[in-house]
Chain A
Amino acid sequence: MSDLLKMTATEARNSLLKKEISSVELLNAYQNAMEKTEALNNYVTTTLDAAKQMAVNADKAYAQGNAGSLAGLPIGVKDLFCTKNIETTACSAILKGFLPSYESTVTSNIWQSGGVMLGKLNCDEFAMGSSNETSIFGPAVNPWSKIDGIDLSSGGSSGGSASSVAAGSALMSLGTDTGGSIRQPAAFCGVVGLKPTYGRCSRWGIVAFASSLDQAGPFTRTVEDSALIFSVMAGHDPKDSTSASLGYTNFSEAVKSGIEGLRIGIPAEYNVDGMDIEISDLWKKGRAWLEQAGAKIVDINLPHTKYALPCYYIIAPAEASSNLARYDGIRYGKRIEAETLDAMYEATRADGFGEEVQRRILIGTYALSAGYYDAYYLKAQQVRRLIKEDFDEAFNDVDAILTPTTPTPAFPLGAEVSDPITMYLNDVFTVPANLAGLPGISVPAGFSNQGLPLGLQLLAPPFEEGRLFSVANAIEKQAEFLLAPARAAGDLQ
């Protein structure tokens, strides 16, 4: 049984094709793992009855020789994706009990390719947070060791998605990334997290946080697995006006291409104050690995990097303040009864939204309000252009950019939650890619002195995910990262 957990998605897929294992066996192993790791609080809803049916169907498909590329592979879904007739809450009290009558485009694609749905995964409320602590269900816990007896944060917002893959309670999972919500938890938990190019994956049916920044992406144990599932997630969707009209690409090929001669940029501005020495050491290692793999390292500048975070913390809350106006207690979700319509709105939203979500709605409302629009929102949009232009210019010279994913390893739960700005600083290396719409991937590449996983981030020009996979694969090969969290369901490697 535990051998099943050791398989990567690609390995499991090959074994399923060869009929060495069955989808039902694989599902049973993961069901067992889910039970064992319950304390990590990764799943907010499990869908094992549906999973069983899907696994049976997958086995039939393998028997008939028409199995999709994800057939039988157990997958968890961030609770931000609307799933038909399965409670979808965005981990917020305001959406408790909401049963969508529709399925998001990305999850539809996954199920159509035979993926087996394990359940809905914990995340920060409306994906607003970097530690999964804003979830109404309590935080998803990092499966790596505790520090001073305190549980570590899985990162956020897609904490449950990262933690479940790291703990072996999901073979792969789906998350979303608005400012680093896939890459930061991936780094904290020691798994591969991909944020695709803006417009690559449909946003239709995903609870919106900040529409111009949100992108869905996968968590996997290897780069190869990432390419496997991403090939299914990506694609044009006429229901999303911001979805790019590009045809199907099989990204698995790209993983294997060498990186000889590729030019990799190292941005000077990512050497920020307060970055842990172990992080900068890892960054240097990454640089050396890529050089050994035949890439050319180029020092570059991204002058406006410093302003990406404050820029993001205007744009994302501004869009969120509008996106979250629909949670008004009328058509779905929670309602606190009151005498007047306005009193009902105010009570419902005060009660239904958590502290951080309210804070961001208020900041966003402020930034868009009369008299402040130009100074905040417009200014942030201008800075956003400068940040994007920094990248445009850099990519004239280099093929990809290498940075750390986070300035620190995972921190104990409760350590940062009281100070919003400290929490926001977690996203300092990840936010620029969202503002510029670029694809980014975090690859587990080493450990902190305390034995916590650390990630390296790669960025590429728009729609060059294939190139990201090639370079990420080179890092993965040389890093020889050992995924062995103390609280995993079993041996994973």
Chain B
Amino acid sequence: MSVDKNVVKKISRLARIHVSEERSEMLSSDLGNILNWIEQLEEVNTDGVEPLSGVNEHLLAWRDDTVTDGEITDEVLKNAPEKAGEFFVVPKVIE
């Protein structure tokens, strides 16, 4: 699998990581090499094999519907790079 610069552009955009033109070249070869190496997985016959996303064997436990958290505005906001009053602040978004 070769990863061309357009693919690098697309995925770096999806991942919201700016990739400069010159890095894009390097990344496309890096990612291409890694994916080539990963493609040895194709050798494995996985017909009919159920995918495994986690190894837990217990059942998902449910929480009671009680309010036990929140009302910690200061804690929530204290590490924010920019805030105004009780809001987080970001560059203006146009919908």
Contacts and interface: CB of A to CB of B under 8 A. Distances in A.
Q: Taking the complex as a whole, does A directly touch B, i.e. does some CB pair lie under 8 Å apart?
A: yes
Interface of A: 97-99, 101, 198-199, 212, 238, 241-242, 244-245, 304, 306-307, 310-311, 313-314, 321, 325, 328-335, 337-347, 349-350, 353, 358-359, 361-363, 365-366, 369, 376, 378-386, 388, 420-421, 436-437, 462
Interface string B40-57: 111110100111111111
Given A313-B34, A421-B33, A385 B49 contact: yes
State which size class the interface on B falls in.
35 or more
Given A242-B56, A332-B79, A379 B16 contact: no
Interface string B10-54: 111111111100000001001101110111111110100111111
B55 A379 contact: no
A78 B55 CA distance: 25
A344 B18 contact: no
B70 interface: no
Contacts of A363: 31, 34-35
B74 to A, nearest CB: 9
A409 to B, nearest CB: 24
Contacts of B31: 359, 362-363, 366
17 contacts: A98-B79, A238-B61, A304-B44, A306-B40, A328-B16, A331-B76, A331-B79, A331-B80, A332-B81, A333-B79, A333-B81, A362-B15, A366-B35, A378-B51, A385-B49, A420-B33, A421-B33
Given A307-B44, A313-B34, A359-B27, A366 B11 contact: yes
Contacts of B54: 198, 212, 242
B71 interface: no
A99 B78 CA distance: 9
**Top-4 shortest CB links A-B:** A437-B55, A381-B51, A332-B79, A382-B46
B90 A341 contact: yes
A386 B35 contact: no
A344 B91 contact: yes
B83 to A, nearest CB: 9
B75 interface: yes
Contact of B58 (A244, A310, A337, A353): A244
Contacts, number: 161
Contact of B41 (A310, A325, A420): A310
Contact of B27 (A212, A362, A388): A362
Contact of A379 (B37, B46, B56, B78): B46
Interface in B64-95: 72, 75-76, 78-82, 88, 90-93
Contacts of B93: 340-341
B46 A386 contact: yes
Contact of A383 (B13, B14, B34, B41): B41
A343 B7 CA distance: 19
Contacts of B19: 350
A339 B94 CA distance: 12
A386 B46 CA distance: 8
A212 B61 CA distance: 17
Nearest to A102: B75
Nearest to A348: B16
Nearest to A368: B14
Given A244-B56, A328-B16, A379 B30 contact: no
Contacts of B53: 212, 381
A133 B93 CA distance: 38
Nearest to A342: B16
B75 to A, nearest CB: 4
Contact of B56 (A99, A198, A325, A381): A198
Nearest to A340: B91
B15 A335 contact: no
Nearest to A198: B55
